[in-house]
Copies of this chain bind each other. A is one copy, B any other.
Amino acid sequence: MFNLDTRLAGDTYCVGDLTLCRVLLMNDTQYPWLILVPRVAGAVEFTDLSDADYQTYCSESRLVAKAMLSVYPDAKLNIAALGNVVSQLHIHHVARFNNDIAWPGPIWGKYPAKPYAPEQATALVKQFQIQLSIKDES
């Protein structure tokens, strides 16, 4: 059975579920940052997904990329599956800007997260739910 890693759950707000992936908003105001987690128990590498699930992931990643560029047209996207710390397969989709705090370096492990105010997070979650046609189940 799929269970979201507790560290991922603790660091994020839930945007909702696409067909395959759970979409999470990283609780860090420093970068617009979504994480896709395929709801497949035990998956660590992309190669742990079936061909069909991998194709679905690829489509969902493209959907999220388009949504982020729609919201942040000047962004450079950083899309990355790392998993060196949290092994559960999860793929970062981060909108980067040439004036963000870590630019042009990678963001992971660089600066402690600066959490959203709850109403900011709610507004961003809502915005991405609309962009991704995810129904609000809260």
Contacts and interface: CB of A to CB of B under 8 A. Distances in A.
Interface of A: 44-47, 54-55, 58, 61-62, 65-66, 69, 76-85, 87, 96, 103-106, 108-109
20 contacts: A45-B69, A45-B76, A45-B77, A46-B61, A46-B62, A46-B77, A47-B62, A54-B62, A55-B55, A58-B58, A76-B87, A78-B80, A78-B83, A79-B81, A80-B80, A80-B82, A82-B106, A104-B109, A105-B108, A106-B106
Copies in the complex: 2
Contacts of A69: 45, 47
A88 to B, nearest CB: 12
A69 to B, nearest CB: 6
